[in-house]
Amino acid sequence: MTHQHRPWGYSNSSDGNLPDWQLHEETLAVRAGLARSGFGETGEAMYLTSGYTYDSAEQAVHSFTDEVDHFVYSRFANPTVSMFEQRLAAIEGAEYCVATGSGMSAMFSSIACMVEAGDRIVAAASMFSSCYVVLSEILPKWGIKVEFVKGNDKKDWEKALSEKTKVVFIETPSNPMLEIVDLKMVSDLAHNAGATVIVDNVMASPILQKPLQHGADVVMYSATKHIDGQGRVLGGAILGGFDYIQNYLNPFIRHTGPTLSAFNAWVLVKSLETLSMRVNRMNESAQAVAEFLSQIPKVKSVNYPGLKTHNGFEVAQKQMSGGGTTLSFEIAGGPTELFKVMDALKVIDISNNLGDSKSLITHPASTTHRRLDLATRESMGITDSLARLSVGLEHSSDLIKDLQQALR
């Protein structure tokens, strides 16, 4: 191998293969992290191995004390997983990346590694329901205080962050309401309160939003969504700087083991090569679909950060390079009418995933967000008449035609 191995997690500055000028995102997506074996293969190799051997007993000792560059066990690091980590770190512009087996293990580990009983977390209330369960049920059981604020209300943030806080957790845009949180505004307040800002950047993907550039400290992904984006594997990732990764995250991950498999990493490292092309195309189509839906009388409301009517439009313009690939909308006539429309679709599939090459529609109230009690769901705006549509890679005019015929 011609590049430096980092025992846990990769630094994007350690790749000796790349030229020294600032490469574009598209180039990094194909080239960064590439670690060829002695065979000179063009495709990234899949190292399906749990362990590694040593030339001598002494080399094993030194490998465990990290004095030599040597993989020791795939719960800690694996060459294929490391290629994925290094490539994603390069695209994100993060110092380090640690991959995990799912988005939820990334979300949980990113917070759990930092907090202890008595600590306080402040979070934007509008979020993916499993993240809400972690914050409202699991962590409080262990003596951690969690306070939820309205993500787009500056006064609410100011009040919550006037007290010492350990972690601020933000999902922007949020799933499924596409609410926008001002990353710079909240990060400034959070840092004054002594908090580490962790952003769930799943809905935007690293192509449309780079939270570290707007003041956040840590970014997490479900790689299951846009990063795979082809409905095949689960995965997750956490990105941040040296202090967070080395002093908090790695000791936690190393011993609790939410490891990404080498097979899934191999699928994901290849997916990164086409991520920007896929996300940019899906983003353009989502904008067209959102504009179409907002002209239909039967559609009561459309939530899409790329529409001027969206209350987060200006903040989205500032921190995102597009409105995203996902939108949600409410149908006049309630859930019965909405189910009829969903059932009449001929191209768009009914499915609860998102960020996929196939356009997928779901009814959050009865599926992805059913775990929330009614009051919480309603406070997030997730009504029975709301559908979430993840726009895929089909031609946008076919998607619009499909919606048109189903709405008739």
Ligand X SMILES: *Cc1c(COP(=O)(O)O)cnc(C)c1O
List interacting residues with ligand X (CB under 6 A).
102-104, 107, 128, 130-131, 171, 175, 200, 202-203, 222, 224-225, 234, 236
Q: At 91, which helix (H) or strand (E)?
A: helix 79-92
Beta carbon nearer to ligand X, 7 or 101: 101
List CB contacts of 244: < 8 A, sequence separation 6 or more: 114, 196, 217, 218
The count of other CB atoms within 10 Å of the CB of residue 217 is 21
Cβ of residue 72: shortest distance to ligand X, in angstroms?
Answer: 27
Cβ of residue 391: shortest distance to ligand X, in angstroms?
Answer: 15
Question: Radius of gyration of the chain from Cα atoms?
Answer: 22
Beta carbon nearer to ligand X, 107 or 386: 107
196 closest CA partner among 102, 110, 293: 110
Beta carbon nearer to ligand X, 225 or 310: 225
Q: Which residue is nearest to ligand X (CB)?
A: 103
Cβ of residue 338: shortest distance to ligand X, in angstroms?
Answer: 21
Cβ of residue 254: shortest distance to ligand X, in angstroms?
Answer: 20
Cβ of residue 162: shortest distance to ligand X, in angstroms?
Answer: 28
236 closest CA partner among 331, 107, 120: 107
**Which DSSP string do the residues of 325-355 spell out, in sequence order?**
SEEEEEETTHHHHHHHHHHH-SSSEE-S--S
Cβ of residue 237: shortest distance to ligand X, in angstroms?
Answer: 10
Note whether 286 and 359 are within 8 A (CB).
no
Beta carbon nearer to ligand X, 35 or 233: 233
Beta carbon nearer to ligand X, 34 or 181: 181
**Paired sense of beta strands 145-149 and 120-124, if any:** parallel
Beta carbon nearer to ligand X, 103 or 151: 103
23 closest CA partner among 34, 36, 39: 34
